[in-house]
C-alpha cells in the first residue's frame, strides 16, 4: 500500500511493527517520503497515528517488534532520540510538556547549540541566538514575553503549538513530523500555526502531518494522503482522498480495510 | 568510643571549663551554663530509638573525641571563603573560624545609628546588659541535647541588632568556617539576632568546611522578630566531606512579623538542622524555603517544627531534596496549632527527587491541631525525573546527560528562585548547573 514515489528517498519505512506492553499498535507500516514532500496521515482514533510519530522520534515506551526505518539511508531505529533530532528529525508534540523552572529561552538555546555543534556549526552566542529567535518568532506571531517564561508552563493550547512550530523553525529539521498540531486550536490559532508551517515548506524538507480531521489540510495542503487503520496504511492517494474521507467518514475505510490477520 | 564515654568527655571538659574559661563569666551566664550542662547530663545523646532521631545515627559525632581549637585559623584566606561561600568579596561580613571571631577577614561597614553587628564574645566580655534578656531565652536546653551542649560551651558567634524602624538593605553575612587538618575539632557558635519593631534585615549564615580532618559544628541561632518586621534569613551549608553539623534555629515571631527562613544544604557528611518557629503574634507569617542537594554517602536530616500560638498567622513550608549516589535524606516536619490559634493557615510540602537507585529519603510530615477553625495541609513526594519531560528535551537534540541535569536544576529552581539576594542566587544557580552536569557524568562512567 506504499505510495509509488520513486525519487530520492528521505524516509523509508518497511513493514514497521511496534507494541506497547502486549498491545501491538503498528502492524506493518510501509511508507516512503521524499524531500520536499508533505504527507498527511489520517485515521480514526486508536489507529496508531501518534504511535508512529513517537516511534519515529525515538520514544522509549514503544517496543519495535519488526521492520525497519531508513532515514537518509541510515538506520533510524538505532539512534537515540537526541541523535535523531541532531540528524534533522523533528516531532511537534500533540501535548507539549510543561517544564517549570527551565526558561523557554534557555531551553531553545541549549537545543539549538546541541544541534549546531553536531552539525559542525559554531555555537551561537547570546546576541546571535536572540536575533535568530526574534526572526523566527515572527513566523508564528509569537509574543516575545512568552519565551522568558518557563517552558510551556501555563501556556494556552495555541501558545504551546506556536512554541512547537517556533522550535521547528529554529532547529531547521529535514524531516518534520507534526502530531495533531491542529488539536485544541481555534480557527485563528490554526491559521497562524499553519502559516508558520507553510513558511517552512522547502524543497529539501519533508513533512509528515498527522491529523484526525481534514480541516488542517485546508491550510497545510499535502502532496499525499495516507489512511491509517488498525496499525496499517490501508489507503493512499492525493488531496482528493481527504475530501472523500470527509464526505464518507472513516467507516468507509473500515469497510475497505483488509481483514486483520491476528 | 561509646556514646556514654563521649558524654563523659563533654562533662569533664565542662568541669575544666567551669573552673577556667567560664569562671570569669558574669553570674547570669554561669547560671545559664550550669542549667544547660545539667540538661545535657540528664539527656545524653539521642539514639535511633528516639522518635526524633529515628533515621539519623550520631555515631559520627559520639565516636570521636573532638577538641576545641583554632590552630589552623591562620591557614584560611579570603579567597578560600569566597570560593566556597556564596557571598561576594565586597559583602558586609563577620567571619568566624572554628567558632571564634576572626577580625582579619571580617569587614563591617558603617551602619545606621543603633545597628549592632559584632562578635558575641566581645559583648559577653563587656557584659553591658545588652544580650542578657535574650540569650538562652528562646533556644531551650530542656529536651534538646545539642542546644544544651552549645549553651554550656558557647563563647562566640554573631550578634545583630536592628533597631526600631531601621530598614537595613544590605545583607549581613556571617561566615562560619570549620577547618581541621588532622585533629578533630568541635565548635559551638552562638548567634543572636534581634530585629526591633518595624525593622527590616537580611541575614545570611554560611557554614563552610575546609581541611582534611573531621570536625563537628554545633551552632545555635536565636532570632527574635519584633512587631511589623520583615526578615530574610539564610542558612547555607557547604560543610566538608568529613564535617558534621548539628544546627538549631529558634525563631520567635511577634505580631505581623514576616520571616523567610531559607535553608540550603549542599555539603557535609552528617547534617542535622533543627528549626523551631514560634508564630507568637497575630498576623505573623513565615515562609520556610529549603533545599538539600546530596551525593556520595551524605546524610542530611531536616527537622522543622512550626508552632502557631496566636490567631491569624500563616506558615508556608517548602523543602526540596535532590539525592544521588547513596545519599540519605530525612525530613521531619511538624505543624503544631495551639487552641487559641484560630484562623491559622499552614501548608507544608516536602518533595524529593532521587537520581540513583541507592539514594533514599525518609519523610514524615505531621500536623497536630488543637484549634477548630484552621486551614492546614501537608504532603510529601518522592520520585524520579519525569520521563515525558526527559524525552521532550532529548527530542530537541539535548543529550540525556544535559536533559537530566537541566531537569534536576529545574526541580531545585523553585527554591533557589526565592533567594532575594541577586548575587547569591546567581552563584547558587551556577553551582547547581555545574554540579548536576558533573553528577550525571560520574554516574554514567
Going residue by residue through chain B, which has 445 residues, state the pLDDT in tens, using 9 for 90 and above.
888 899 999 999 999 999 988 889 999 999 999 999 999 999 999 999 999 999 999 999 999 888 887 566 778 889 989 988 898 888 999 999 999 999 999 999 888 899 999 999 999 999 889 999 999 999 988 889 999 999 999 999 999 999 999 999 999 999 999 998 888 899 999 999 999 999 999 999 999 999 888 999 999 999 999 999 999 999 999 999 999 999 999 999 999 999 999 999 998 999 999 999 999 999 999 999 999 999 999 999 999 999 999 999 999 999 999 999 999 999 999 999 999 999 999 999 999 999 999 999 999 999 999 999 999 999 999 999 999 999 999 999 999 999 999 999 999 999 999 999 999 999 999 999 888 876 444 333 2
B191 φψ region: left (φ > 0), alpha (ψ -120 to 50), beta (else): beta
User: Could you say which of B281, B313, B340 is where a domain stops?
Assistant: B281
Q: What angle do CA B121, B305, B201 make, to 5 degrees?
A: 50
Residues of A in contact with B395 (CB under 8 A): 57-58, 81-82, 84-85, 90-91, 93
Measure CB to CB from residue B397 to each of A97, A101, A114 and give the nearest one. Answer: A114
Helix (H, G, I), strand (E, B) or coil at B167: strand
User: Could you say which of B281, B303, B336 is where a domain stops?
Assistant: B281
Tell me whether residue B89 is in a domain.
yes
Burial class of residue B34, CB neighbours in 10 A (0-12, 13-18, 19+): middle
Which run of H or of E encompasses A236?
strand A232-237
Q: For position A2, what pLDDT does the model report?
A: 42
Q: How far is B251 from chain A (nearest CA, A)?
A: 30
Q: How far is B355 from chain A (nearest CA, A)?
A: 18
Q: Are A103 and A129 in contact (CB under 8 A)?
A: no
Q: How far is A103 from chain B (nearest CA, A)?
A: 9
User: Could you say which of B264, B281, B298 is where a domain stops?
Assistant: B281
8 Å CB contact of B394 and A102: no
Tell me whether residue B436 is in a domain.
yes
B257 touches chain A (CB under 8 A): no
Tell me whether residue B381 is in a domain.
no
Q: Are B96 and B174 in contact (CB under 8 A)?
A: yes
Look up residue A237 and give its three cell numbers. Answer: 492517494
Integer Cα distance of B253 and B284 in angstroms: 6
B399 touches chain A (CB under 8 A): yes
Q: Are B36 and B152 in contact (CB under 8 A)?
A: yes
B407 touches chain A (CB under 8 A): yes
Per-residue model confidence as pLDDT tens digits over A99-118: 998 999 999 999 999 999 99
Average of per-residue pLDDT values in chain A: 91
Tell me whether residue B350 is in a domain.
no
Measure CB to CB from residue B394 to each of A82, A90, A93 and give the nearest one. Answer: A82
- Alpha helices, DSSP H, located in B285-421: 387-394, 400-416
Residue B268's contacts (CB-CB under 8 Å, 6 or more residues apart) are B209, B237, B238, B239, B240, B243, B244, B245, B298, B300
Tell me whether residue B125 is in a domain.
yes
| pLDDT exceeds 80 at position A253 | no
A85 touches chain B (CB under 8 A): yes
Domain that includes residue B404, residue range: 386-445
In degrees and rounded to multiples of 5, residue B152 shows phi and psi of: -65, -35
Which run of H or of E encompasses A130?
helix A126-139
A59 touches chain B (CB under 8 A): yes
Which residue of chain A is at minimal alpha-carbon distance from B389?
Answer: A97
8 Å CB contact of B406 and A81: no
Q: Are B76 and B105 in contact (CB under 8 A)?
A: yes
For A207-215, what is the mean pLDDT? 92
Q: Are A142 and A162 in contact (CB under 8 A)?
A: yes
B393 touches chain A (CB under 8 A): yes
Tell me whether residue B170 is in a domain.
yes
What is the number of CB-based contacts under 8 A between chain A and chain B? 79
B3-19 vs B27-43: helix crossing angle, rounded to 10: 170
Q: Work out the number of other CB atoms within 10 angstroms of the CB of residue B42.
A: 12
Share above pLDDT 70 across residues of chain A, in percent, rounded to a whole number = 94
Candidates B245, B85, B34, B70; CA nearest to B156 is: B70
Helix (H, G, I), strand (E, B) or coil at B372: coil
Domain count, chain B: 2
Integer Cα distance of A81 and A88 in angstroms: 11
Measure CB to CB from residue A81 to each of B394, B406, B410 and give the nearest one. Answer: B394
Q: How are strands ordered across the β-sheet holding A23-33?
A: A23-33, A11-20, A63-71, A74-75
Q: For position B443, what pLDDT does the model report?
A: 38
Measure CB to CB from residue B406 to each of A91, A100, A102 and give the nearest one. Answer: A102
Tell me whether residue B258 is in a domain.
yes
Residue B248's contacts (CB-CB under 8 Å, 6 or more residues apart) are B139, B144, B146, B147, B150, B219, B220, B221, B273, B274, B275, B276
A171 touches chain B (CB under 8 A): yes
DSSP class of residue B2?
A: -
Residues of B in contact with A100 (CB under 8 A): 410, 413-414
Q: Work out the number of other CB atoms within 10 angstroms of the CB of residue B331.
A: 26
Q: For position A25, what pLDDT does the model report?
A: 96
Question: Chain B 360-389, CB below 8 Å of chain A: which residues?
Answer: 386-389
- Which has more confidence, B73 or A237? A237
Identify the sign of the CA torsion B31, B36, B39, B41: negative
- Pairing outcome for strands A74-75 and A63-71: antiparallel
Q: Assign domain A11-93+155-256 to a CATH class.
A: alpha beta
Q: For position B183, what pLDDT does the model report?
A: 84
For A190-209, what is the mean pLDDT? 95
Per-residue model confidence as pLDDT tens digits over A113-158: 999 999 999 999 999 999 999 999 999 999 889 999 999 999 999 9
ipTM of the complex: 0.94
Clarify whether residues B396 and B271 are in a common domain.
no
Per-residue model confidence as pLDDT tens digits over A154-192: 999 999 999 999 999 999 999 999 999 998 899 999 999
A247 touches chain B (CB under 8 A): no
Which residue is it, cell 541549549? A110
Q: Are A259 and A26 in contact (CB under 8 A)?
A: no
Q: How far is B207 from chain A (nearest CA, A)?
A: 27
8 Å CB contact of B410 and A102: yes
8 Å CB contact of B397 and A171: yes
Clarify whether residues B151 and B271 are in a common domain.
yes
Helix (H, G, I), strand (E, B) or coil at A228: strand
Q: What angle do CA B383, B389, B395 make, to 5 degrees?
A: 145
Integer Cα distance of B14 and B33 in angstroms: 9
Which run of H or of E encompasses B299?
strand B299-308
8 Å CB contact of A118 and B397: yes
Confidence bin at A259 (pLDDT 50/70/90):
low
Residues of B in contact with A102 (CB under 8 A): 406-407, 409-410, 413
Integer Cα distance of B153 and B137 in angstroms: 16
Integer Cα distance of A41 and A68 in angstroms: 19
Tell me whether residue B361 is in a domain.
no
Amino acid at each position: 500500500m506504499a505510495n509509488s514515489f520513486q525519487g530520492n528517498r528521505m524516509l523509508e519505512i518497511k513493514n514497521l511493527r511496534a507494541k506497547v506492553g502486549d498491545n501491538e499498535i503498528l502492524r506493518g507500516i510501509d511508507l516512503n517520503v521524499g524531500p520536499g514532500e508533505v504527507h498527511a496521515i489520517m485515521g480514526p482514533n486508536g489507529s496508531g497515528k501518534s504511535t508512529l510519530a513517537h516511534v519515529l522520534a525515538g520514544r522509549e515506551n514503544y517496543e519495535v517488534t519488526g521492520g525497519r526505518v531508513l532515514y537518509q539511508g541510515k538506520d533510524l531505529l538505532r539512534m537515540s532520540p537526541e541523535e535523531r533530532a541532531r540528524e534533522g528529525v523533528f516531532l511537534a508534540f500533540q501535548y507539549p510538556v510543561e517544564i517549570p523552572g527551565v526558561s523557554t529561552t534557555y531551553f531553545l538555546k541549549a537545543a539549538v547549540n546541541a544541534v549546531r555543534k553536531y552539525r559542525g556549526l559554531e555555537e551561537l552566542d547570546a546576541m546571535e541566538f536572540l536575533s535568530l529567535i526574534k526572526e523566527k518568532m515572527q513566523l508564528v506571531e509569537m509574543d516575545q514575553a512568552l519565551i522568558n517564561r518557563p517552558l510551556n508552563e501555563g501556556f494556552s493550547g495555541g501558545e504551546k503549538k506556536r512554541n512547537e512550530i517556533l522550535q521547528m523553525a529554529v532547529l531547521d529539521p529535514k524531516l518534520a513530523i507534526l502530531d495533531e498540531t491542529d488539536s485544541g486550536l481555534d480557527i485563528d490559532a490554526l491559521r497562524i500555526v499553519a502559516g508558520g508551517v507553510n513558511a517552512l515548506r522547502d524543497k529539501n524538507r519533508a513533512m509528515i502531518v498527522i491529523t484526525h480531521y481534514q480541516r488542517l489540510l485546508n491550510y497545510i495542503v499535502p502532496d499525499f494522503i495516507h489512511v491509517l487503520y488498525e496499525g496499517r496504511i490501508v489507503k493512499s492517494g492525493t488531496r482528493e482522498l481527504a475530501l472523500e474521507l470527509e464526505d464518507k467518514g472513516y467507516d468507509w475505510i473500515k469497510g475497505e480495510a483488509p481483514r486483520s490477520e491476528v | 568510643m561509646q556514646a556514654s564515654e563521649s558524654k563523659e568527655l563533654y562533662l569533664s571538659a565542662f568541669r575544666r571549663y567551669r573552673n577556667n574559661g567560664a569562671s570569669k563569666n558574669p553570674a547570669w551566664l554561669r547560671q545559664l551554663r550550669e542549667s544547660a550542662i545539667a540538661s545535657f547530663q540528664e539527656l545524653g545523646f539521642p539514639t535511633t530509638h528516639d522518635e526524633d532521631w529515628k533515621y539519623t545515627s550520631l555515631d559520627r559525632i559520639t565516636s570521636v573525641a573532638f577538641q576545641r581549637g583554632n590552630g589552623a585559623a591562620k591557614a584560611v584566606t579570603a579567597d578560600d571563603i569566597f570560593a566556597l561561600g556564596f557571598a561576594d568579596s565586597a559583602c558586609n561580613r563577620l567571619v568566624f573560624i572554628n567558632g571564634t571571631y576572626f577580625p582579619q577577614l571580617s569587614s563591617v561597614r558603617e551602619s545606621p545609628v543603633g545597628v549592632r553587628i559584632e562578635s558575641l564574645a566581645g559583648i559577653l566580655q563587656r557584659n553591658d546588659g545588652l544580650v542578657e534578656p535574650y540569650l538562652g531565652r528562646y533556644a531551650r536546653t530542656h529536651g534538646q541535647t545539642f542546644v544544651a551542649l552549645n549553651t554550656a560551651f558557647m563563647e562566640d558567634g554573631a550578634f545583630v541588632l536592628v533597631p526600631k524602624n531601621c530598614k537595613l538593605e544590605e545583607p549581613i553575612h556571617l561566615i562560619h568556617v570549620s577547618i581541621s587538618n588532622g585533629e578533630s575539632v568541635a565548635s559551638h557558635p552562638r548567634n543572636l539576632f534581634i530585629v526591633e519593631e518595624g525593622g527590616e534585615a537580611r541575614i545570611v549564615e554560611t557554614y563552610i568546611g575546609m581541611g582534611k580532618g573531621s570536625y563537628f559544628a554545633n551552632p545555635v541561632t536565636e532570632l527574635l522578630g519584633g512587631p511589623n518586621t520583615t526578615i530574610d534569613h539564610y542558612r547555607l551549608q557547604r560543610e566538608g566531606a568529613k564535617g558534621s553539623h548539628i544546627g538549631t534555629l529558634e525563631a520567635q515571631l511577634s505580631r505581623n512579623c514576616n520571616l523567610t527562613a531559607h535553608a540550603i544544604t549542599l555539603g557535609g557528611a552528617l547534617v542535622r538542622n533543627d528549626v523551631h518557629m514560634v508564630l507568637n503574634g497575630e498576623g505573623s507569617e513565615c515562609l520556610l524555603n529549603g533545599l538539600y542537594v546530596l551525593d556520595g554517602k551524605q546524610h542530611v536530616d531536616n527537622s522543622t517544627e512550626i508552632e502557631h500560638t496566636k490567631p491569624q498567622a500563616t506558615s508556608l513550608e517548602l523543602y526540596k531534596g535532590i539525592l544521588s549516589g547513596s545519599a540519605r535524606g530525612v525530613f521531619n516536619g511538624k505543624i503544631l496549632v495551639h487552641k487559641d490559634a484560630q484562623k491559622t493557615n499552614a501548608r507544608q510540602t516536602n518533595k524529593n527527587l532521587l537520581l540513583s537507585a541507592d539514594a533514599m529519603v525518609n519523610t514524615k510530615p505531621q500536623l497536630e491541631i488543637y484549634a477548630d477553625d484552621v486551614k492546614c495541609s501537608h504532603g510529601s513526594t518522592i520520585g524520579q525525573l519525569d520521563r515525558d519531560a526527559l524525552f521532550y528535551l532529548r527530542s530537541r537534540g539535548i543529550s540525556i546527560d544535559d536533559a537530566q541535569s537541566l531537569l534536576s536544576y529545574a526541580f531545585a529552581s523553585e527554591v533557589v528562585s526565592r533567594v532575594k539576594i541577586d548575587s547569591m542566587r546567581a552563584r547558587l544557580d551556577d553551582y547547581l548547573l555545574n554540579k548536576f552536569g558533573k553528577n550525571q557524568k560520574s554516574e554514567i562512567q
